[in-house]
Amino acid sequence: MYDDLLVPTDGSERTDAAVEHAVALAEAFDATVHVLSVVDTRNRFESPSAGVAAEAWVDAERERADEAVARVAEALPDHVAVETVTRDGTPAAEIVGYAEEAPVDAIVMATHGRSGLDRYLMGSVTEKVVRSSSVPVLTVSGGAEED
């Protein structure tokens, strides 16, 4: 039923709860876990007064995404097959796109990653994925820290 699972991560600790659920499913179904982080190429700080060049923004996002994927992959037990990937683009669209292309049988993700102003400006990635995914999405609460 679940041969391939997708765990998107933004690097936040709230992903940990989703990883626990993905591991349980992977062990129960002998599934491969695909760990994905998206390099968010939308620079919200490109105005001349903001001081952050688009290239610097993307470089910082790429470093964050690479670290996020590595962190989750290292947290998976050795007996769970894992594939890691980073993609450039808009997070929700890239998550849904990867799920269709890979293809994966389910997406397991935290309900919130970004918080505060980022969440207000960018919207809930999880909410967008749930609405547009053609595969089941298991949403996992990030725990007590959640806004």
Please give the domain boundaries of the chain with CATH numbers for all domains. 4-140 (3.40.50.620)
- How far apart CA 128 and CA 96 sit, in angstroms, is 9
Q: Give per-10-residue mean pLDDT for the chain (147 aa).
A: 96 91 97 96 58 74 95 97 96 96 95 56 77 95 55
Residue at token pair 């709230």? 14
| DSSP designation for 40 | E
pLDDT recorded at residue 57: 76
How much is the pTM? 0.85
- How far apart CA 137 and CA 111 sit, in angstroms, is 11
- How far apart CA 8 and CA 126 sit, in angstroms, is 10
Per DSSP, the three-state class of 16 is: helix
